[in-house]
Amino acid sequence: MRKVEKILVPIDFSEESARALRHALALAMETGAELIALHVVEPYSLRDYFASSLASLEDSPFPGNNAPVISIDALLHDKTLDLSNFIANTAQGTSRVKITKKVRMGSIVEEIAATTQEENIDLIVLELRKRFLFPDLATLKALKIMRTLPCPVLLDPPITEDRSEPRKPLLLLQNTPGENIA
């Protein structure tokens, strides 16, 4: 098994991504690995931003909601600050770990895969969200991400509502070359 030198943890500012970040930090402290925290701004989340920009134009046919208009650069800067604050609040007492923060715009799946390639990531740490209306769809999205990645994914199963039973261990999923995950 190769040495883990870089760990990627996608961040969406949820409690689940905070737990994934804590797991990744613990692994990085043990292995001496660099941690890369990635936040992806998806294009559909910008829909309201663009609608409010269009509505602010004089004589626009779109109804305005008087929302302030900001540039995409300012939006990405704000998300970078949000990511820094999220990490600072979650990663207290882990100053020995080198953490690189990245904010990218695009599809989550594509940006995680691109970052994995560009940064030569050895391990990705994810945690499934339990608050989805259809949790199986979240699992399918996670599997779609994992299928495209060239490195192992450490996946923490979602927390069950019944706390009387012990938590299941972390799962390590790896797509081996030539293997077809259906």
Average pLDDT of the segment spanning 16-44: 91
Which residue type, as a one-letter code, is found at position 132? Answer: F
Distance CA(97)–CA(146), nearest Å, equals 25
Top pLDDT among 136 and 24 is at 24
Q: What is the pLDDT of residue 181?
A: 45
In this predicted structure, the answer to whether residue 25 has a pLDDT above a threshold of 70 is: yes
Q: What is the pLDDT of residue 63?
A: 53
Q: What is the pLDDT of residue 58?
A: 52
In this predicted structure, the answer to whether residue 11 has a pLDDT above a threshold of 60 is: yes
Contact predicate 75/141, CB 8 Å: no
Hey, what domains does the chain have and what are their CATH numbers?
A: 6-173 (3.40.50.620)
> Both tokens of residue 40?
């992806």
Fill in the DSSP letter of residue 123: E
Contact predicate 169/23, CB 8 Å: no
Q: What is the pLDDT of residue 166?
A: 54
First to last CA, the chain: 26
Average pLDDT of the segment spanning 81-105: 90
Top pLDDT among 108 and 38 is at 38
pLDDT tens digits along 38-78: 999 987 655 555 555 554 455 555 555 555 566 788 888 99
Per-residue CA distances from 133 to 33, 130, 142 (Å): 35, 9, 15
pTM comes to 0.70
Q: What is the pLDDT of residue 3?
A: 86
